[in-house]
Structure 1
């Protein structure tokens, strides 16, 4: 996981300042992408890296029962009023094999250096045929190598192919200069899904004119248990 102490230290800032504008207008259309890829349901849906629980209402609005897991006690202080939560490591989920119909990870994969392990855990706790939805920053256009200071002309510098953890960021008003980020090039990220036993079904991008978000809907092989 990302440096937990760092998220504990910035939890109040994240909740009260960073998220305030996003709650008002959903600039990345996260509600739309969850509706498109997760769809409607009537069972518990686990959010990995739920943070302050800001996505719970979107999940609940689709009929699912949101539950969350996160490693940061500071973030969970804000989440507890929004959904049931447990403090835990996404790489070792405190859940039984095949116990869930749906798992989501929203804008968190760059916080998790061990994301391939997280994907394997997501697959483990999904029942055969269960859905996993990944919504993350676009690996091709976001990261320490991308200067997004001008949204109409994103400048890509060296570093995309490297795969690394960095605090480099084009803005000091965001999260990454505070807690850092792990970057994986697109092929490496997608291969991690396949290695976990998750079969791709749909993809989506959000953000214009250069995408900010890449989202994936994958399904656990119905013939695989545990």
Structure 2
């Protein structure tokens, strides 16, 4: 996610304000899947810490890890952060009750490795919550220019890095995205040793967000 260094200020001052009304219902999905609790909650790829308040409102203590020093510069007033790789977390095995990944899995080319690390640092019975772009309706193959319908073009079954986007005024045209079809994404969770508990979707009329809650065996 070091590519975010070049756009960190734009992300904080221009991109984020346009999402404060939460049109993708990320806050609603997070409340549904994570729910109230206590103790530390690690956010993988925390960026500028935009979701720290939502985690804190649920009674939990947000902690953040991200590769981008530029993004962490904006995040540090919002939550304790460390610059690090989500594929090799500087955290003891079995030490955390909760880990979340919010709208970042397409920034992580080896997300299966990230899931394995999330499972490693979770205590037995610990909770992992994933919230990300819906793999069936978002990506370089999905044209969302018409809010009433999504036009799906060839490409859904392809796994890999793409810089294509249906708009040149968003985020993905700047940093690209790694797409994984739904079966590959779900299998990676199971392969990490996590067990699904709940699912949720967000955004309308066609879901933009897919989330789930899983626990460490």
CA contact (8 A) 2:24 2:204 kept: no
- Give the paired residue count: 217
Q: TM-score, normalised by structure 1?
A: 0.95
Q: CA deviation at 1:209?
A: 1.4
Q: CA deviation at 1:207?
A: 1.1
CA contact (8 A) 2:49 2:64 kept: yes
SS in 2 for 1:199: strand
Which residue does the alignment assign to 2:19? 22
Q: CA deviation at 1:153?
A: 1.3
- Taking the TM superposition and a 5 Å limit, the aligned residue runs for 1:93-108 are 93-108=89-104
Q: CA deviation at 1:26?
A: 1.1
Rounded to whole Å, the distance in 2 between the matches of 1:168 and 1:29 is 24
For structure 1, the 5+ residue unaligned runs are 222-226
- Taking the TM superposition and a 5 Å limit, the aligned residue runs for 1:132-211 are 132-211=128-207
Query: Does 2:38 align with 1:8?
Result: no
Query: Does 2:43 align with 1:44?
Result: no
Rounded to whole Å, the distance in 1 between the matches of 2:149 and 2:56 is 36
> Among 114, 122, 144, which residue is 2:110 paired with?
114
CA contact (8 A) 2:64 2:80 kept: yes
Q: CA deviation at 1:208?
A: 1.2
SS in 2 for 1:219: strand
Which residue does the alignment assign to 1:224? none
Rounded to whole Å, the distance in 2 between the matches of 1:58 and 1:208 is 21
CA contact (8 A) 2:145 2:166 kept: yes
Query: Does 2:83 align with 1:87?
Result: yes
Q: CA deviation at 1:203?
A: 0.3
Which residue does the alignment assign to 2:124? 128
Q: Indicate the RMSD between aligned Cα atoms, in angstroms.
A: 0.6
Rounded to whole Å, the distance in 1 between the matches of 2:168 and 2:56 is 33
Q: TM-score, normalised by structure 2?
A: 0.99
Once superposed, which parts of structure 1, at least 4 consecutive aligned residues long, lie more than 3 Å away?
none
Query: Does 2:70 align with 1:68?
Result: no
